[in-house]
Structure 1
Amino acid sequence: MLIFIKLLLAHLVGDFILQPTRWVLHKQSNKIVSKFLYLHVLLHLVLYMLVLWNLSLWKIAATVAVLHFIIDLLKLYANDMFKNKSVPFFIDQALHIIVLYCCAFYADLYAHTLALFENLDWYLITAIVFVTFPASIIMGKILEGMSNQIETDHKSLPNAGKYIGIIERLFVLIFIVIGRWEVIGLLIAAKSVFRFNDLKERNNRKLTEYILIGTLVSFGLAILAGLLYVS
């Protein structure tokens, strides 16, 4: 596990701290002929060797560096296939982490992966999944009759309310799991403060009631999931 953590640290430093924006732009424009692509991979190789600090592990560092080059190169040519540029970014990072994992545990990859899955807390994973999109859909069904009576605010970001709800439910679930119920009260208070001025300016009772009901339902679903998990 320590080797994986060290490789991950080197990756984070090389990809996010020691990679200037001009390198990224130059790679996107010049792709395989970009000098910064090769400099970037060389930097990663140096970082891998530094964190491992063991010459006998040079094959791991070299393998990860070569695969890093291949993944980055594929990303440069695949970028234009995606309208949402965050998609290739996350795919790229996921592939890098998979490579780090495989190289770190290459000696007993199957046994370690099997043990990892066997030790997963499936109850917690189910609770986490539930408070994301399933809970959003349930809330939509519960509030469907009320939402038709609320005027749409075109100034809002698309799906902003849905993602805010998902994040707040995840926080509530985490606080319940670690036994910090008092923080949930602070979270509700913080959300109320942010909403207060907006609702005051609108002076719309229906909207206020709708948001209040939605907030209570959202927190209620998260608390229910948390209670079922800890019970």
Structure 2
Amino acid sequence: MILFTKLFLAHLIGDFLLQPNKWVVHKEANKIRSRYLYLHVLVHFIVAMLLLWDLDMWKWVLIITVFHYIIDALKLYANPYFKNKAIPFFVDQVLHMIVLYCCAFHTNLLEQTQMLIKQIDWSLITAIVFVGYPASIIMAKLLEGMSQQIALDHKSLPNAGKYIGIIERLFVLVFIILGRWEAIGLLITAKSVFRFNDLKESNSRKLTEYILIGTLLSFGLAMITGIIYMWGQ
């Protein structure tokens, strides 16, 4: 596991800490003709070798570097086809992680993968998935009648409320699993403080009640999910 950790650290350093935005822009404009693409993969090779500090690993680091070049080059040509640039970015990172994983555990790849699969906590994954989009849809259905009576705020970011709800429910679930119930109170307080000015300026009783009901419902779903998960452990 320490080998994968070192390779992952080298990836983080090479892809984020030692890659200026100027390089990224130049690569996107010039694709494989960009000198910074080759400098970038060279940095990855050097950083990985320094962290591993083992000359016997140079072949595997070279394999990682070659695949890094191929994946990055493919991303550069795929980028224009995606309106949401986050998609090629995350696909790129996942592919890099797969390469690192395969190289780090090349001696026992099948056994290591089987062991990881057996260790998956499916109850936890189910809880995490539920407090995400399914909980958002459930809340939208429950609050549908009320939302029609609230004037839309066109200054709000698209789907901002939905994403805020998903993040806060994930925090609540984590706090329950860790047994830090007091942190949930702090989270509610923090959200109330941020919402105070909006409610004060709107001076709308309906909006206040709608936000209060939505907040309590969101926290309630997350808390119930967390309690059920802990009860099943």
TM-score, reference length from structure 2: 0.98
Q: Answer yes or no: is 1:5 the counterpart of 2:5.
A: yes
TM-fit CA distance, 1:56: 1.0
RMSD after superposition: 0.6
**What secondary structure sits across from 2:184 in the alignment?**
helix
Aligned to 2:180: 180
CA distance in 2, matches of 1:25, 1:195: 38
Aligned to 2:58: 58
Aligned to 1:33: 33
TM-fit CA distance, 1:230: 0.7
TM-fit CA distance, 1:192: 0.4
CA distance in 2, matches of 1:176, 1:60: 42
TM-fit CA distance, 1:196: 0.7
Q: Answer yes or no: is 1:227 the counterpart of 2:227.
A: yes
CA distance in 1, matches of 2:22, 2:169: 38
Correspondences of 1:8-23 after superposition (within 5 Å): 8-23=8-23
For structure 2, the 5+ residue unaligned runs are none
CA distance in 1, matches of 2:121, 2:83: 36
Aligned to 2:98: 98
CA distance in 2, matches of 1:60, 1:48: 10
Task: Give the partner amino acid of 1:46.
Answer: I
Task: Give the partner amino acid of 2:12.
Answer: L
Aligned to 1:144: 144
CA distance in 1, matches of 2:209, 2:190: 18
**After TM superposition, what 4+ stretches of structure 1 lie above 3 angstroms from structure 2?**
none
Task: Give the partner amino acid of 1:216.
Answer: L
For structure 1, the 5+ residue unaligned runs are none
- Per-residue CA shift, 1:148-180, capped at 9, x if unaligned? 111111110000000000000000000000000
TM-fit CA distance, 1:111: 1.0
Task: Give the partner amino acid of 1:140.
Answer: A
Aligned to 1:211: 211
CA distance in 1, matches of 2:223, 2:86: 32
Task: Give the partner amino acid of 2:176.
Answer: I
CA distance in 2, matches of 1:169, 1:85: 26
Using the aligned pairs only, state the percent identity: 68
- Per-residue CA shift, 1:191-224, capped at 9, x if unaligned? 0011111101100000000000000000000000
CA distance in 1, matches of 2:128, 2:24: 34
CA distance in 2, matches of 1:21, 1:221: 41
**What secondary structure sits across from 1:75 in the alignment?**
helix
Task: Give the partner amino acid of 2:117.
Answer: F
Task: Give the partner amino acid of 2:95.
Answer: L
Aligned to 2:124: 124
Task: Give the partner amino acid of 1:86.
Answer: A
